[in-house]
């Protein structure tokens, strides 16, 4: 018994050591297969790891198409430039036998094997024509062979036992590779389905976006379907009419829901490229791998499932305009790729090597504060300067309150046309919408009106039909605590030239400056500008009369907004509803103003 134990212990120790090495090898290879690299790079990494655990010289992984022909051959150190070399080294007869038998193959000495008769072994095995062995195993998907894994190593006459061990180890690795291939095919199918869905939508809406007919002046229409009577929006439209004539890159800035895509349509329709395509892409809607293929396109066979050549959006936009929405959401790695296209004016498809030129105008849009992202290193400064050649800032809905009735009637007209109804909106309902903050801007307002029109009980939309007057507004719950703190970061409204007031008769000379009479608190703001928009203006600085006779016109109120608010609240006994009536505001607006100026409400 002791003799047996002494004789068998080295063998048992060796088996335990081999099992431990195989376990570590499978563990390390599984980590490589779980990475998100390109499939060829991943498989090349698997072979590099195998050389650390096996006494091998070269390794090849061949993936087969449905006809059984090699579709991809990868070896250690694979790259686009040396891909053909691995195809040339593929042992086709040996691979054919593995596929036909669906079993592992061991060739102890390739120099004497009929499978290699007449094969040029230059570049195979050790240098100097030394004999070597080959071990190959099938890569299966269910019961179908979808590829092979082969390695070669120096010939050893006493290596039969090691062959058996290597076959088991390589079979485990091949099973892991098969699982990875299945996962890649699932991802590819999802990618193709997503791309087909995008193509279908592009076809439905047509790549060329025709300019929408201008609305009549009674509706407050301007260009390309933009509905507004607000001076600040009209100033933006005047600017895009000038910008559209050139070809400089435009960056549309503004909060979500302010209509950036609509203004991009307007720039394209007013430009000399209006007859060319307007190609749109939301950068936040696609993962980076799909986004790269969508923008740059890909060549046939560039990745698993790429059955045909695919033109990207850069190529489709040739002679027209490319609109990239949510440009602030792309990753740092993709920013570098996009920057190269903008700098060089050319690109290559995924898996391609031929440079392609495309003449397109770029329009980008974002609701992010790019300047802050640049300072934090989240957005490349060089890309920022490339896309922000002509920045255009779109105002939020709270800065264009006079547009609420016009927009409400336009959205209701579209609703009636789509649903075959004949609803009308009452003044009481418009008053409710005027009081709303609408943090989601025009998009939120349109959804609110559609919801109210859908649930309306009669042919007239009244104030009680709105959710905020019945079961509660879910949007107000979502935006609770969000108050208007002035313009959004990065928002710079365009200067608006107000109509000059008629010159007043010069006051009679006085010996001392007359004190300005305070404006009665019950007087409402002038109708040309809403009371709320006046609260959003910067605090006026006190004016000092430089000399007698040069003082402001008597009756002007030169106090700050905060002072007027405090006086109204004190007059009303710190009752917000009463103070709102004094100032001609709604209770909601007076609440926003109090929070804006950080005025603590006194309680008695």
- Check which CATH number belongs to the domain holding 465 and give it: 1.10.8.60
Do 266 and 406 have their domain in common? no
pLDDT on residue 199: 61
320 and 378 inside one domain: yes
Highest mean pLDDT range out of 472-481, 506-515, 587-596? Answer: 587-596
Mean pLDDT of 324-335: 89
- Judged by DSSP in three states, 137 sits in strand
Structure confidence at residue 465 (pLDDT): 87
Asked if residue 314 is part of any domain, the answer here is: yes
Higher pLDDT among residues 206 and 56, named by residue = 56
pLDDT for 288 equals 78
Q: What is the 3-state secondary structure (H, E, C) of 476-523?
A: HHHCCCCCCCCCCCCCCCCCCCCCCCCCCCCCCCCCCCCCCCCCCCCC
Query: Does residue 384 have a pLDDT over 90?
Result: yes
Q: 18-65, pLDDT tens digit by residue?
A: 677 778 878 888 888 887 677 888 888 888 888 877 777 788 888 888
Q: Is residue 93 in some structural domain?
A: yes
| Predicted confidence (pLDDT) at residue 209 exceeds the cutoff of 50 | no
Q: What CATH number should be reported for the domain holding residue 578?
A: 1.10.10.60
Which pLDDT value is given to residue 550?
Answer: 42
- Is-contact 73 86, C-beta < 8 A? yes
Tens digits of per-residue pLDDT, 452-468? 999 888 899 998 888 87
Proportion of the chain above pLDDT 70, given as a percent:
72
What is the pLDDT averaged over residues 379-386?
Answer: 92
Same domain assignment for residues 364 and 452: no
| 69 DSSP 8-state letter | -
Judgement on whether residues 362 and 217 belong to the same structural domain of the protein = yes
- pLDDT of residue 548 exceeding 70: no
Q: What is the CATH classification number for the domain harbouring 338? A: 3.40.50.300
Mean local confidence (pLDDT), 271-289: 87
In a domain, 127, yes or no: yes
Task: Calculate mean pLDDT across residues 420-446.
Answer: 88
How confident is the model at residue 133, as a pLDDT? Answer: 85
Q: How distant is the alpha carbon of residue 520 from its chain centre?
A: 52
Q: What is the pLDDT of residue 16?
A: 52
Q: Are residues 374 and 402 in the same domain?
A: no
Q: Which of 126-140, 202-216, 367-381 has the highest mean pLDDT?
A: 367-381
Nearest to 425 by CA among 401, 398, 452: 452
48/80 same-domain check: yes
| Domain end call among 345, 367, 387 | 387
Domain range spanning residue 454? 398-478
Neighbours of 51 (CB within 10 A): 15
Q: Are 229 and 368 in contact (CB under 8 A)?
A: no
Arithmetic mean of pLDDT, 249-253: 94
- Please say if the pLDDT value at position 413 is more than 60: yes
The residue that leads in pLDDT, 417 or 305, is 417
Token pair, residue 427, equals: 């003044």
User: 98 and 167 share a domain?
Assistant: yes
Residue 166 clears pLDDT 60, i.e. is over it: yes
Specify the pLDDT at position 252.
95
Residue 169 structure tokens: 């180890």
pLDDT of residue 530: 37
Residues 216 and 354 in one domain: yes
pTM of the model: 0.49
Confidence bin at 9 (pLDDT 50/70/90): very low
Q: Which of 180-194, 319-333, 372-386 has the lowest mean pLDDT?
A: 180-194
Q: Are residues 414 and 540 in the same domain?
A: no
Question: What is the DSSP code (8-state) at residue 350?
Answer: B
- Provide the pLDDT for residue 514: 43
Residue 487's pLDDT band, with cuts at 50, 70 and 90, is: very low
For residue 441, give Cα distances in angstroms to 104, 266, 400, 446.
65, 19, 10, 9
| Mean pLDDT value across the chain | 75
**Do 437 and 526 fall into the same domain?**
no
User: In this structure, is residue 604 part of a structural domain?
Assistant: yes
| 302 — pLDDT class (breaks 50, 70, 90) | low
Which CATH number belongs to the domain containing residue 26 in this structure? 3.30.450.40
Residue 159 domain-assigned?
yes
pLDDT of residue 224: 64
pLDDT of residue 307: 61
Residue 88: what pLDDT? 75
Q: Apex CA 161: angle with CA 157 and CA 167, to 5°?
A: 110
pLDDT beyond 90 at 366: yes
Above 50 in pLDDT, residue 143? yes
How confident is residue 297, by pLDDT bands cut at 50, 70 and 90?
confident
Residue 527 DSSP class: T
Judge if 375 and 403 occupy the same domain: no
Residues 28 and 87 in one domain: yes
Return the higher-pLDDT residue of 366 and 194: 366
Confidence of residue 542 (pLDDT cuts 50, 70, 90): very low
In a domain, 493, yes or no: no
Report how many domains make up the chain.
Answer: 4
Higher-pLDDT residue of 13, 150: 150
Q: What pLDDT does residue 244 have?
A: 92
Q: Are the beta carbons of 78 and 89 closer than 8 angstroms?
A: no
Residue among 149, 147, 146 at smallest CA distance from 171: 149
């Amino acid at each position: 018994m002791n003799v047996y134990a002494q004789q068998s212990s080295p063998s048992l120790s060796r088996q335990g050591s081999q099992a431990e090495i195989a376990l570590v090898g499978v563990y390390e290879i599984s980590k490589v297969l779980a990475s998100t690299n390109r499939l060829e790079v991943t498989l090349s990494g698997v072979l590099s790891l195998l050389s650390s655990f096996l006494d091998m010289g070269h390794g090849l992984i061949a993936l087969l198409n449905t006809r059984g022909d090699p579709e991809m051959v990868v070896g250690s150190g694979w790259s686009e430039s040396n891909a053909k070399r691995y195809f040339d080294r593929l042992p086709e007869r040996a691979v054919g036998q593995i596929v036909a038998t669906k079993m592992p193959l061991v060739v102890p000495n390739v120099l004497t094997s009929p499978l290699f008769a007449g094969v040029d072994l230059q570049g195979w095995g050790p240098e100097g024509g030394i004999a070597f062995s080959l071990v190959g195993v099938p890569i299966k998907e269910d019961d179908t062979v979808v590829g092979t894994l082969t390695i070669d190593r120096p010939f050893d006459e006493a290596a039969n036992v090691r062959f058996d061990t290597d076959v088991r180890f390589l079979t485990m690795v091949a099973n892991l590779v098969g699982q990875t291939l299945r996962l890649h095919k699932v991802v590819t199918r999802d990618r193709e389905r997503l791309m087909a869905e995008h193509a279908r939508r592009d076809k439905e809406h047509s790549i060329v976006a025709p300019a929408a007919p201008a609305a009549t002046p009674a509706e407050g229409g301007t260009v390309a379907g933009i509905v507004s009577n607000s001076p600040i929006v009209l100033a933006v439209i005047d600017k895009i009419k000038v910008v559209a004539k050139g070809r400089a890159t435009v960056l549309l800035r503004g909060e979500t829901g302010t209509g950036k895509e609509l203004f991009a349509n307007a720039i394209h329709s007013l430009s000399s490229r209006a007859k060319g395509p307007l190609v749109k892409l939301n950068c936040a809607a696609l993962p980076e791998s799909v986004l790269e293929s969508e923008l740059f396109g890909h060549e046939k066979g560039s990745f698993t499932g790429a059955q045909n050549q695919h033109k990207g959006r850069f190529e489709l936009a040739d002679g027209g305009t490319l609109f990239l929405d949510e440009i602030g959401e792309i990753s740092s790695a993709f920013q570098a790729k996009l920057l190269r296209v903008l700098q060089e004016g050319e690109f290559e498809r995924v898996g391609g090597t031929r440079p392609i030129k495309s003449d397109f105008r770029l329009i980008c849009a974002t609701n992010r504060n790019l300047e802050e992202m640049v300072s934090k290193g989240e957005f490349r400064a060089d890309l920022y300067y490339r896309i922000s050649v002509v920045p255009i800032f779109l105002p939020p809905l709270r800065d264009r309150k006079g547009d609420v009735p016009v927009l409400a009637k336009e959205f209701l007209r579209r609703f009636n046309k789509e649903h075959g109804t004949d609803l009308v909106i009452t003044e009481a309902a418009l008053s409710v919408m005027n009081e709303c903050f609408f943090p989601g801007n025009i998009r939120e307002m349109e959804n609110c009106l559609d919801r109210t029109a859908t649930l309306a009980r009669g042919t007239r939309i009244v104030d009680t039909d709105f959710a905020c007057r019945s079961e509660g507004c879910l949007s107000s719950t979502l935006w609770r605590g969000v108050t208007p703190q002035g313009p959004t970061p990065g928002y710079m409204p365009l200067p608006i030239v107000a109509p000059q007031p008629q010159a007043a008769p010069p006051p009679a000379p006085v010996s001392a400056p007359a004190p300005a009479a305070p404006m009665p608190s019950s007087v409402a703001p002038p109708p040309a500008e809403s009371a709320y928009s006046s609260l959003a203006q910067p605090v006026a600085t006190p004016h000092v009369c430089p000399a007698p006779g040069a003082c402001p016109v008597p009756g002007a109120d030169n106090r700050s907004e905060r002072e007027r608010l405090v006086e109204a609240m004190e007059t009303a006994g710190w009752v917000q509803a009463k103070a709102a009536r004094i100032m001609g505001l709604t209770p909601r607006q007076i609440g926003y103003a109090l929070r804006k100026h950080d005025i603590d409400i006194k309680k008695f």
